[in-house]
Amino acid sequence: RSPGAGEGRCAVCGDNASCQHYGVRTCEGCKGFFKRTVQKNAKYICLANKDCPVDKRRRNRCQFCRFQKCLAVGMVKEVVRTDSLKGRRGRLPSKPKQPPDASPVSLIMSLVRAHIDSIPSATKLDYSKFQESVPCQFEKEDSVDVQQFYDLLTGSMDVIRKWAEKIQGFTELPKEDQDLLLESAFLELFILRLAYRSKPDEGKLIFCNGVVLHRLQCVRGFGEWIDAILEFSQSLHRMSVDVPSFSCLAALVIIT
């Protein structure tokens, strides 16, 4: 589920929300703000550090951070563009009908939903094992790191399989083909998803079960992988890849 997307609450600001708009449950205020921003192709500037709080009381203080949160929780810009073509009755002008699940917008929305459903909520991250400094080598057995690494990988495999099953058409493939695609793409997907969730500037790795570990805690289990993953994570953050784009990228990884 998306961060803050509680039942009846806006995923962006936490205000009351009765239904979904542009792929995510949002209030009328955030719906209107998102629609206006996309239609006008508005460009905003944050006067602080691009991490302003966005809640019911302060949502109007920084338009940049509010729009970034709209994208982060999965609101889809393409839906606004399609919506702007509709007439008063909500019908697109004289185009051949497509099956409801065949349109690009429908596909993107389903990929976004699959992604959001497969990531830990930002409000429920598990810091119980987080340590910025680790015990000396002799105080800790190698087997502990190996077991931790194994548990994280196997847990990720289950999450990635459930995510893949929500991709349109995946479950229609023969079971053998599903297994082959998952086995072939698992490592790439594990690294891609981990890099997207993590916070490289803070040395924090956020795993699919919500566990947060410091880079130093992962060195012995992951070896030289860990620095490569964090470098890749920094690249993704620099490119400001939004949720719809990342959702499509992850789907491409499993089918190519």
**Cα(256)–Cα(223) distance, rounded to whole angstroms?**
27
Burial class (CB in 10 A: 0-12, 13-18, 19+), 252: exposed
Copy the structure tokens of residue 203: 């040395």
pLDDT at position 31 is: 92
Say if residues 214 and 248 touch (Cβ distance below 8 Å).
no
Q: Is 248 in the same domain as 125?
A: yes
**Cα(20)–Cα(214) distance, rounded to whole angstroms?**
36
Q: List, for residues 75-114, the tens digit of each pLDDT value.
A: 888 888 665 544 433 444 444 444 445 577 788 888 999 9
143 lies in a domain?
yes
**Cα(244)–Cα(249) distance, rounded to whole angstroms?**
9
Q: Is 207 in the same domain as 129?
A: yes
37 lies in a domain?
yes
Q: Is 55 in the same domain as 167?
A: no
112 lies in a domain?
no
Whole-number percent of the chain with pLDDT over 70: 84
Q: What angle do CA 20, 24, 29 make, to 5 degrees?
A: 70
28 lies in a domain?
yes
Residues of the chain with pLDDT under 70: 1-7, 81-102, 134-143
pLDDT at position 89 is: 39
200 lies in a domain?
yes
Return the amino acid letter for 39.
Answer: Q
pLDDT at position 141 is: 55
Q: Is the pTM of this model over 0.85?
A: no
213 in helix, strand or coil?
strand
CATH number, domain containing residue 133: 1.10.565.10
Q: Is 121 in the same domain as 248?
A: yes
Could you tell me the residue range of the domain that residue 243 belongs to?
117-255
69 lies in a domain?
yes
**How many folded domains does the chain comprise?**
2
Q: Is 86 in the same domain as 141?
A: no
Copy the structure tokens of residue 180: 């082959």
Say if residues 229 and 198 touch (Cβ distance below 8 Å).
yes
